[in-house]
Amino acid sequence: MLLQTKKLCKQFGGIYALKDIDFEIENGEVLGLVGENGAGKSTLIKILTGVYRLDSGEILWEGNPAEIHNPCQSRDLGINVIHQDRNLVPSFNGIENVFLGLPYEKKGGVAVDWKKMKQRVTAVMEELGIDIDLNIPAALLTPPQKTMLEIVRAMMTRSRLLILDEPTASLTDREAEMLFETIEGLKKKGTSILYVTHRMDEIFRLTDRITVFKNGQLVNTVQTADVNKEQIISMMTDNWVSEKMKTARQFGGSRLDVAHLSSRDGIIKDASFNARAGEILGIFGLGGSGRTELLECVYGHRSVAGGTVAIDHKPVGKASPANSLKQGVVLISEDRRGKALVGSLNVKQNIVLSTIDHYARFGVVDEKKEVSDARDQIDRLSIKTEGPKQPVLQLSGGNQQKVVFAKALLSEPKVLLCDEPTQAVDVKTRQEIHKLLRKRADDGNAVVFVSSDLKEMLEVADNVLIMAGGKTKELFANDGLTAEQVLACCYAD
Ligand SMILES: Nc1ncnc2c1ncn2[C@@H]1O[C@H](COP(=O)(O)OP(=O)(O)OP(=O)(O)O)[C@@H](O)[C@H]1O
Ligand SMILES: [Mg+2]
């Protein structure tokens, strides 16, 4: 046995995030950890990596009691981690971030040897087939690049235990595949792996055993070969059955028209499409194809060089987030912490943020109404929170994502642009979000939906637009459309 916990407990504000957890990881196994949003998965990881202190209970490492009071102690044991919230220092460049908590290389024992450090990082990147600019601050990296940098950091020293918390959120299939191969290679060398995800396919592909958490308690640990997906889902959710969404529908007039759009930074070269009332238009493409950047151009977050955007056939003069909001265009951004949430505000303040005008009469804010609307959204999306006044950053990763979604819905957009809206949310909420997107469309609005999960794309979108190299390439009706057809189009020159 590599690691064991005994009766581990952790409370926040009098509520148990973890209660009496007896958890075990064997040497050289890949253990999956699953549970609904807020079940306590990341909290356990933060205790094992010295970010949080446990309240009571014990951690045993190879059978001996271990003290993990800070991240260094955890790293010294050989535990490396990719945190769900991507712990990079925004102003540090790639090398500085990778060497966080590691001893710097020194010339003659004094001056920092940056060249040697860069060589070491580059060597690891080459081995993994990762290519990122190490000279720019982490704040300028895209979410997938941030994940890649965390992977590099976790690979700098030999791990006894590698912990990955939602590692594939925002990665494309190809990047994820690279990660899976790395995991399989490490397992062969005897490294134990703790893998947290809401994606059941990954759990079944990678793990030897699965541990299920529910409401801060460990429900069960099973051999992966002995169970199926439905059994795992029912262990985490009690009595929940998934329903299939109905498709085959009619569309109204165009609500969003985009013609020959290009961005000043050259990432978007030539994009044209329209989204009609009643339609969920999916946008799919490989990493770097420009999906996120296209949504940002339409919304006015990214500078546009040429082309036109029209809402309800009226050209939008200069796109800016403020203008977009006025026109009824809302963007749910992929980078929820960076762009979508205000960390210093509470849950309610975040939910009502973009509709704040609705609550002010003669300069007085109707706080009662704010709170009741926020509560409605909290119920509707089952956001796990102590209440509207809880600081938003105290919520679990998936519940933060739900807050972003709630905020967007509350403003009742005519055109809803969403970038990976179900990233990191549990299966139940994922379906709830799909239903809400469908309802938004059914009510006569247009939804533009980006997901790097092709299966999800085929479940949700009415039509699928393929992007490659900053250009829109082909539009498919999602009517018997297969993953192979989509991928063939993406990879074709
Ligand atoms: N710093 C904190 N302060 C207060 N409450 C917290 C804090 N960190 C976590 N919690 C609470 O602990 C519970 C468990 O959260 P945790 O992040 O472990 O969930 P999770 O299983 O990782 O969920 P997800 O799938 O959404 O990432 C949640 O109810 C969360 O709100
Ligand atoms: Mg989590």
What's the CA-to-centroid distance between 63 and ligand 2, angstroms?
27
Q: Is 39 in the pocket of ligand 1 (CB under 6 A)?
A: yes
For 390-407, write each residue's pLDDT tens digit: 999 999 988 998 899 999
Q: Which of 43, 54, 165 should be mutated for ligand 1, with most atoms under 8 A from CB?
A: 43
Is the distance from the beta carbon of residue 97 to the nearest atom of ligand 1 less than 6 Å?
no
Is the pLDDT at 244 greater than 80? The verdict is: no
Q: Which atom of ligand 1 is nearest to the CA of 40?
A: 18
Ligand 1 atom 31: residue of nearest CA: 395
Exposed / middle / buried, residue 15 (Cβ in 10 Å: 0-12, 13-18, 19+): exposed
pLDDT (tens digit per residue) in 122-131: 999 998 888 8
Same-domain status, 39 and 150: yes
pLDDT for 155 equals: 87
46 and 105 share one domain: yes
Can you spell out the DSSP letters for 417-483?
EEESTTTT--HHHHHHHHHHHHHHHHTT-EEEEE-S-HHHHHHH-SEEEEEETTEEEEEEE-SS--H
Residue 19: pLDDT band by 50, 70, 90 thresholds? Answer: very high
Across the range 283-299, mean pLDDT stands at 91
Question: Which of these ranges, 41-50, 163-172, 354-363, has the smallest mean pLDDT?
Answer: 354-363
294-314 pLDDT, tens digit each: 999 999 989 999 999 999 999
Q: Are residues 79 and 202 in the same domain?
A: yes
**Residue 422, ligand 1, Cβ within 6 A:** no
CATH number where 419 lies? 3.40.50.300
Ligand 1: atom nearest CA of 84 is 27
10 Å CB burial of residue 354 (0-12, 13-18, 19+) is middle
Point out the ligand nearest to the CA of residue 82: 2
Mean pLDDT of 321-334: 88
pLDDT tens by residue, 403-420: 999 999 888 899 999 999
Report the pLDDT averaged over residues 483-491: 86
Atom number in ligand 1 closest to CA 10? 12
Ligand 1: residue whose CA is nearest its atom 2:
394
The mean pLDDT value for 248-263 works out to 90
Residue 300 sits in which domain range? 254-328+413-491
**Domain match, 192 and 273 both:** no
Residues 261 and 219 in one domain: no
Distance 41 CA to ligand 2 centre (A): 5
121 and 197 share one domain = yes
Atom of ligand 1 nearest to the CA of 198: 25
Rounded-to-integer distance, Cα 391 and Cα 347, Å: 6
Q: What local confidence, expressed as pLDDT, does residue 103 receive? A: 86
Choose the final residue of a domain: 237, 272, 294: 237
Q: Are 228 and 266 part of one and the same domain? A: no
Average pLDDT of the residues in 439-452: 94
367 belongs to a structural domain? no
Position 368 in a domain: no
User: Is 61's pLDDT higher than 90?
Assistant: yes
Q: Whose CA is nearest to atom 12 of ligand 1?
A: 17
The last residue of one of the domains, among 237, 264, 292, is 237
Higher pLDDT, 325 or 210: 210
Domain assignment present for residue 387? The answer is: no
Alpha-carbon dihedral of residues 424, 430, 436, 438, nearest 10 degrees?
110
Domain-located, residue 123:
yes
Number of Cβ within a 10 Å radius of residue 493: 4
Does residue 366 lie in a domain region?
no
* Confidence band of 269 (pLDDT split at 50, 70, 90): very high
- Between these two residues, 71 and 3, which has the higher pLDDT value? 3
Ligand 1 atom with the shortest distance to the CA of 395:
31
Q: Is a pLDDT exceeding 90 seen at residue 200?
A: no
User: Which of 206, 237, 268 represents a domain boundary (last residue)?
Assistant: 237
Average pLDDT over residues 170-183: 83
Is residue 473, in this structure, part of any structural domain at all? yes
Q: Read off the pLDDT of each residue in 345-356 and give the average, rounded to a whole number.
A: 86
Measured from the CB, is residue 282 less than 6 Å from ligand 1? Answer: no
Q: For 363-371, what is the mean pLDDT?
A: 81
Predicted local confidence at residue 246, as pLDDT: 58
262: which 2 tokens?
A: 């290009």
| Spatial distance between the Cα atoms of 212 and 267, rounded to a whole number of angstroms | 42
The pLDDT of residue 336 is 64
Residues 194, 268, single domain; the answer is no
Q: Which atom of ligand 1 is nearest to the CA of 45?
A: 18
425 Cα to the center of ligand 1, angstroms: 13
Predicted confidence at residue 268, as pLDDT, reads: 95
What is the predicted pLDDT for the residue at 370? 86
Examine residue 154 and state whether it is found in any structural domain, yes or no.
Answer: yes
pLDDT score, position 338 = 64
Mean residue pLDDT of the chain comes to 90
> What token pair was written down for 5?
């916990």
- By alpha-carbon position, which residue is closest to atom 19 of ligand 1? 38
Order of strands across the sheet that contains 15-25: 15-25, 3-12, 56-61, 64-65
- Our count of domains for the chain comes to 2
Q: Which 3-state string (H, E, C) describes 1-66?
A: CCEEEEEEEEEECCEEEEEEEEEEECCCCEEEEECCCCCCHHHHHHHHCCCCCCCEEEEEECCEEC
Query: Quick one: how many helices (H) and strands (E) in the chain?
Result: 16, 24
**224 and 276 belong to one structural domain:** no
| Shortest-distance ligand to the CA of residue 46 | 1
Q: Is 252 helix (H, G, I), strand (E, B) or coil?
A: coil
Average pLDDT over residues 101-110: 85
Q: Is the CB of 399 under 6 A from ligand 1?
A: yes
Cα(397) to centroid(ligand 1), Å = 7
Say how many residues make up the chain: 493
Percent pLDDT > 70 in the chain is 96
Residues 224 and 144 both lie in one domain? yes
236 has pLDDT over 90: no
Quick check: 240 pLDDT over 70?
A: no
Backbone angles phi, psi at 184, to 5 degrees: -65, -40
Over 70: is that where the pLDDT of 84 sits? yes
Contacts of 18 (CB under 8 A, 6+ apart): 8, 9, 10, 40, 43, 44, 47, 216, 217
Q: What's the pLDDT score for residue 247?
A: 57
Check: CB of residue 45 under 8 Å from CB of residue 81: yes
Residue 399 lies in a domain: no
**What residue owns the CA closest to ligand 1's atom 8?**
394
In this predicted structure, the answer to whether residue 93 has a pLDDT above a threshold of 80 is yes
Report the separation in Å between the CA atom of 94 and the middle of ligand 2, taken as the mean of its atom positions: 24
Residue closest via CA to ligand 1's atom 28 equals 38
Mean pLDDT is highest, among 89-93, 351-355, 484-488, for 89-93
Q: How far apart are alpha carbons 96 and 91 in whole angstroms?
A: 9
Q: Are 217 and 282 part of one and the same domain?
A: no
Measured from the alpha carbon of residue 215, the closest ligand is 1
- When pLDDT is cut at 50, 70 and 90, the band that residue 248 belongs to is low
CB 394 less than 6 A from any atom of ligand 1: yes
The shares of helix, strand and coil residues in the chain, as percent rounded to the nearest 5, are: 35, 25, 35
Residue 116 pLDDT exceeds 90: yes
Residues 149 and 287 in one domain: no
Query: Distances from the Cα of 283 to the Cαs of 304, 406, 424, 452, 491, in angstroms?
Result: 19, 22, 19, 9, 15
